[in-house]
Every structure is written in C-alpha cells, then in structure tokens.
Chains A and B, each alone.
Chain A
Amino acid sequence: MSDVAYVRTEMVPEKAPPASQVGPIKWVRENLFPDIPNSVLTILALYFLYLALSALLPWIFHSAVHANSLNECREIIREAYGPDAVGACWGVIVDRWHQLLFGFYPQDMYWRPVTAFVLLLVALSPVLFSQVPRKMLMFTAVYPFIMYFLLWGGSIWLPLSVMFGFVLAPISHKIVAPLAGNLAGVIAGFAVPILWWGLAAGPVAEYLHSVAPVGIEYIESAKFGGFMLSITIGITGIALSLPLGIVLALGRRSDLLIIKSLSIGFIEFIRGVPLITLLFVASTLLNYFLPPGTTFDIILRVMIMVTLFSAAYMAEVIRGGLAALPKGQYEAADALGLDYWKAQRLIIMPQALKISIPGIVGTFIGLFKDTTLVSIIGLMDPLGLSNAIRADQAWNGILWELYAFIAAMFWIVCFSMSRYSMYLERKLQTDHR
C-alpha cells in the first residue's frame, strides 16, 4: 500500500475572528450602526443626549447643599465655580425637608407619622410577600386603627370603640344564628355593628374617655401635609378601592338587572368626570348632602372621593380579568355545586385577580399620582407645599430643585410599585411557557 498522498497531521492554528466580528465593535455595529437610517437615529440620539446632559450635569455638579436662602446659595455657587456658574440649590431640601415630608405637623410629634410609616411597612409585608408568617395578617387587620390613632391622635377610646364594632359582627351572628336561623344571623351581623357605629360608638368612647382619659395630643387635619398626606390618602384609597372595585365588577357582570344597572351607572358616571370635579364636590358640596349641622374632616372627604374614583377604574380592570376567564371555569364551579360566593372566592376571583394584576397596580399608581390634585383644593400635599415654600422670602423664586425632589419621590414609589407587579406576575405564573 502506498502512503496516503497527503494527510494533515497538524492543524493550522485558529485565527482570531475579524476585528469587526467580535467584542464591542461587533456590538456597536449591530446595535447602533446596522444601516443608514439606524445610524442617523443613533447620531440624533447621541446629539440629544449631549444637549440634555450638557444642560443638566453642570447644574447638578455645581450645586450647593448647605444654605439658608436662595441668595446665599447663589453666592456659594458663584464663589466655588466662577461668576457665571449656575447650579442646583439643594439647600432648600435640607432646610425644608421636614415640611415636604410632614407639612405643618408639629415638629416634636414627628415620631408619630414615622412610627405609623414603619408599622405600615410591617403591616404590608405579609400582604406583599408570602414568605412572611401568615399570623402577621392579624396585625394588618388592626393597623388602620393604629394608623388613625398615631396620625390624628386624641383619645384612644374612639378607634377602640370603632374597632369593637367589627368584633360585634361575628359575635352577634354567633348569638342570633342558633336562635333565629342563619339568615337572621347574617342580618344581625350587619345590623348590630352599623347600629353600634351610628348610635353608640361615639358616646361610649366619650364616656370611657371621661372615666379613663388615655390618649395623645390631637392633631387637626389642617396640619397634615407633604408626602405624609399623599401616602395617607394613597394607602387608604388603595386599601378600600380594591374590595369596592371587586364588588362593583361583580355587580356589573351580575344577572340581576337592577344591581347591574346601578353598577353600570355608578362606574360610567365616575369614569366620565375628571377627579378634580369630584374633589370640588368633596371640598364644597359633600356637607350639603348630610343632615344639617354635620361637618366632617376634609381629608376624610377627599379620601372618600379618591376611593370612589379609583374603585370605578378598578371595577373595569377586574371586569376585564373576569371576562378573560374561560367559560369552563364558571361551569366547573357550578358543576362542583359551589354557590355563587364560594365559586367567586375559591375559583373565579383568584384567577381573575391574577390576570388583572398589571391593571390593578396601574390603577394604584394612578391613584397615588392623583393625590397631587388635592393641592388644587388647598390641601398641603408636596406640590401645594412647594408653593408655600416659595412664598417664604428666603426661598422666593426656587423651582427646579423642589420639582426635582417631588418628582424623584413620586418616581421611586410608582416605579417600585410597577416592578413589584412584575415580580408578582412572575411568581404567580402557573402556565408553562
């Protein structure tokens, strides 16, 4: 046998790929300059970035943090960076952060909203994260009363006696049901607490307070302001609009004609008018609809209106989730012999709410952003306070720093909410993709 004419015994060493096909160059060519239109776009975007940064960066870096007035601030910047330097004056935030956060709440009482906020995080944790022990939900249920007591203060007996109404509901059901049947028990479970709140809660709290005056100093609503006000209104609205929205969505999909038309009427009315008109109603009109002589707190009135407003949007979001469920789910629930409420609670709602998570969180974000509207009816939310701060001689004329601070705070809260909704969606995802 002859030798094989030619067999390569050693391989040619591997060449490095062409420079244009690896590393940053390839990335830039593929992602920034793949063709002419895209190159034009990239160059335009770079030019825009240059414009924006060349305006913003000097302003941010030539900033003065400690100053007591706008003039002093400008003086510092001029001395440090030359006569023409323009810079941010963060002194206003350092000087007035407490107002932006708490409004005109008394300074020596700041521990109260701070405690309320920390406890809010504790109360929210079992709702937001399933790793937290379920027993914590008990605390979440009690939290609204703690929040009210800490923020407004006054006698401790008022929140306690209101809370007692909720305790009364199961008790009266337990007592009446064996005597007069389940239905009477349910009716008693609703009627007794309502009677308690309407007639007895106030006088009993007053009496207990006269016997044992336990409480902290009462802070009136006019002193509330800043992000504390936004968060108070926002959290209340969020907590109340979800259940109300579920009820409205069920009402709108109900077979019962009257309930359905009442729900549709309510939802379409609220969605048809701007929130600001409802806030005008809260500030000027709501007292007219109550018996002569009753007045109640402006913040409470605003909370009611904000809740009703976002409940209508929430109802539409949840209705979308309900409509997206396959009909088989409803039929399966019927076939299992579940009654309406059990089917909703065990089968329909968990799925419908899961589908509508993005919409629900979107509504929450909208609600939180809409709390800025209360500045138009004269409440001291951060935006209203920015005007109040400008009214001061020392800070007359300061704009951008305040707006930037407020915008950044809102941005952080809203952005984290939207990220949380994505996390929740991923966590609850059960289908295989």
Chain B
Amino acid sequence: MSAFTDPPKESFRLGMLIYDTRYRSMTIQIVALIAFLAGAAWLVNNAANNLAALGKPLQFSFLWEPSGYDINQRLIEYNSQSPHIRAAFVGLINTLIIAVMGCTTATILGVVIGVLRLSKNWLVSKLMTVYIETFRNVPVLLWIVFTMAIFIETMPAPREFRSGAATMKLFDSVAFTNRGFYIPEPLFSNSLGNIDVFGIFKISNDLLAVIAVLVVSFLLQRAVKRRADKIQEATGIRPVTWWQRVGLMFIPIVVLLYVLGFHLGYPELKGFNFKGGIHLRNSLISLWIALSLYTAAFIAEAVRAGIMAVSKGQSEAAFALGLTASQTMNLVILPQALRVIIPPLISQYLNLTKNSSLAIAVGYMDITGTLAGITLNQTGREMETLILLMLVYLTISLSISSVMNWYNNAVKLKER
C-alpha cells in the first residue's frame, strides 16, 4: 500500500491567478508587460502623430545633407560641405579624445592624491583633504567654465608675443596663449603616406609604423624579462638584462624615426596668430584640466578606500620581511587594493566620459556640440539627433564598462 496519494486535483479557478502563489507571479508579470507595452505604444503613437502634424516624420536622410558649419578641431578631413553624419563622426572622435586624455590624467592624479592623503606627513595629507573636499563639493560645470575663464583672462594674447610682453617657453617651442597652447608637431620628411580606410578617413602610415614598432619592442623586452625570470627560478641567479631591455625598447624606435626623417615643426608667430605646430585649443585644455581635477578627487577617495581595505597585517608582514615603505606600497598594498579600487574606478571613467558632454559649455565640439548642438538647430530634427546621440553614448558606456569588467575579472581574487 502506498503511503503517497495524489493530491486532490483542483479545477482551475480564475481567482487562483491572484491568490495562488504558483500563478500569481505570472499574473503580475503579464499585467506589467501589458501595461509597459500599452504605455510605450501610447508614447510612440503620440510622438508619431505630433511629428506627422509638424511635417517631419522620423527619418534619418537629413544626415547625408551638407552640414554647412565648420568644426575647429578635427582629426579627419571635414569641411562645411561635408554631410551631418561626418560632423557627428568628427564630434565622436573629439569626445573619445577628451575621454581618453581625461581618464589617463585623472587616474594618475587620483592615485597620487589618494596615496598622499594617507601619508603620515600632516601638511600634505591635510592639503590633499582640502583638495578633495573642494573639488567634490562644487559642480563640475562650474569647474569647467572657471578653468576656461582662467585661460581666457590670464594667458597672454598672441599679439603680446609680438611686442615682447610674453615669450615662448621651453626653448621657444611652446606658446601658451589665451587661444590655447601651441606645441611642436611631429613631421616626417620621408613620410610613408596615408592609408585610406574605406574612403572615409585617412590614417598616417608613419603613426601606424611607430605604434607597431613600439608594440613589438615592448613584447620583445617582456620576453627577455620572462626568460630572465625563468633562469632565476631554475638556477637562483638572475642574468643581467637591463641593457638588453633598454636597448630593445629604444633602439628600434630611434632607428625608425631616423629612417622616416623625424623632425619637429615649431609654431611660429605670423601676423596676429601662431602658425605651424599643433594648436591645442583652450576649450580642449580647460575641459581636460577641469574634468581631470574633478574626477581625480573621486578617484583619490576610491584609492584611499581601497588602500584602507587592505588589512594592517599585510603591511606589517611586509615590513617584517624587510621590504621598504615604497616596496611595501608597490608590491604588497597596491596589488591587493587594486581589486577594491577597480569597480569604483570603472564608474568614474564612465562619469568622466558622460561629463565630457558638458563640453558644450565651453564650445568644444564633441558629439553633443555637433550632433545635438548645431545639427539639431540647423535641421530641427530633435527626435532623430537625440536618439542617435543617446545610442552613441550608450555604446561608449557599455563598451567601457564591458572592457573594464573584463579586466576586473582578470585581476580579481580567484577563489575556489
């Protein structure tokens, strides 16, 4: 005789959709889905009706019409006859430039400041606290316009270089003016020419060659280091390799630069402005400085929290092993703190990239300034431009976070 009996078969009643926990979650989800779809449909329907009434239905063909405006900072060929889509692309490149520059300097500054804030030196740690609290508690937009104002108000105008009221710095190679910085540009007398990428933009072959040589020599010197490590592990004697590694790192690139005929093109004062060299506009510089300083304050706090999360026993053990203070920091504390630091660091990188959209306040032509600024005003296509803009930022954000998450997974503690 079986002790188990089938549960009595209940007939399904409509009330069970709500009162029976087996079905209730399904009911809630379906109701939520229907409500969401209905809401979305209502919004889309309204938008379609409104846009149709205004005579501008959703279409993106305007992107291929001539833009009719100039962009002062462009890394790829662009003029006012180029289509809007190209203007947006130029803006995207500018956004990426400021994001990469900003993230790099903010990381360096942030790590230094975060470590210094924990320093035993009273004056230095107090100064760093003041720095962090000042920058964190004032809006970034204010910092951006403030830095821009400093550049415009306190730097000399180019004509003052003519009268001798201002001089170029660093052996007459760099000029700091209120229109921006003029720095020497790299030139190649035996240039390899440009490579055309799908006929859209051009990349200098010289640049590619330099990057390739740098990467190869870096990999080669890593290989030398690995070999030395292996020999040390096997025999206990470390072969002297520093001259090999230095040579591998520098000789190929020097040879390449010599072959290409590398020389610097210095900026020169001609007429009322500087000609030649690279012109870093003050919109770029002030945005870069303001974003770096602002984000560095947050990164410094993350670094400090990360270092404090490493237990005290670790540094005591390191001192017991006879490591110096800086060795303890570099070999014991920072590698462990890094695991704690990276997740907030990712979100600071994302914040910096998103904050770079405030470029519009100082007239730096990033993608917000081109696509959602001038293109939007000239074509009156709010819906299309803003959809595109949001998609671009979403793509950038998601790629940054996926790359950094991949890195985070690579360095995080492997637990079994």
Contact = CB atoms under 8 A, between A and B. Distances in A.
Interface of A: 31-32, 34, 38, 41-42, 45-46, 48-49, 183, 255-259, 262, 268-269, 271-277, 280-281, 284-285, 287-292, 365, 369-370, 372-373, 375-376, 383, 399-400, 403, 406-407, 410-411, 414-415, 418
A369 B121 CA distance: 32
A38 B383 CA distance: 57
Contact of B358 (A280, A373, A400, A415): A373
B49 interface: yes
Given A31-B120, A271-B397, A418 B28 contact: no
Interface string B352-380: 00110110110000001000100010000
B319 interface: no
Given A34-B120, A277-B372, A285 B382 contact: yes
B398 A38 contact: no
A42 B126 CA distance: 11
A292 B120 CA distance: 65
B25 A255 contact: yes
A273 B354 contact: yes
A376 B372 CA distance: 12
Given A372-B139, A372-B142, A383-B145, A288 B50 contact: yes
Given A274-B357, A370-B139, A46 B25 contact: no
A414 B350 CA distance: 22
Interface in B126-156: 127, 133-134, 136-142, 145-146, 149, 153
A418 B122 contact: no
A410 B122 contact: no
Contacts of B376: 280, 284
5 contacts: A273-B394, A277-B386, A288-B50, A403-B142, A403-B149
A377 to B, nearest CB: 10
Given A256-B25, A274-B368, A285-B386, A365 B142 contact: no
A272 B120 contact: no
Given A41-B124, A415-B133, A415-B137, A272 B358 contact: no
A383 B362 CA distance: 13
Given A258-B32, A288-B47, A369-B138, A42 B123 contact: yes
Contacts of B397: 271-273
A220 B133 CA distance: 37
3 cross-chain pairs, A with B, having the tightest CB-CB distances, nearest first: A414-B137, A31-B122, A274-B354
B29 A257 contact: yes
Interface of B: 18, 25, 28-30, 32-33, 36, 43, 46-47, 49-51, 53, 116, 119-124, 127, 133-134, 136-142, 145-146, 149, 153, 350, 354-355, 357-358, 360-361, 368, 372, 376, 382-383, 386, 389-390, 393-394, 397-398
Given A259-B28, A373-B358, A49 B142 contact: no
Given A277-B390, A285-B383, 19 more contacts: A31-B120, A31-B123, A32-B121, A45-B123, A45-B127, A256-B29, A268-B398, A271-B397, A277-B389, A280-B376, A288-B50, A288-B382, A290-B46, A369-B140, A375-B141, A375-B361, A383-B145, A403-B145, A403-B149
Contact of B360 (A45, A273, A276): A276
A46 B383 CA distance: 54
B25 A383 contact: no
A276 B120 contact: no
A407 B142 contact: yes
A176 to B, nearest CB: 16
A373 B141 contact: yes
A255 B28 CA distance: 12
A289 B386 contact: no
Contacts of A411: 134, 137-138
Nearest to A414: B137
Contact of A281 (B36, B46, B386, B398): B386
A406 B357 contact: no
- Name the residue among A257, A277, A289, A410 with the largest chain B CB count within 10 angstroms: A277
A277 B368 contact: yes
B358 A276 contact: yes
B398 A272 contact: yes
A414 B136 contact: yes
A262 B36 contact: yes
A235 B137 CA distance: 17
A41 B355 contact: no
A221 to B, nearest CB: 20
Contacts of B394: 269, 272-273
A399 B47 contact: no
A166 to B, nearest CB: 22
A411 B358 CA distance: 20
A42 B125 CA distance: 10
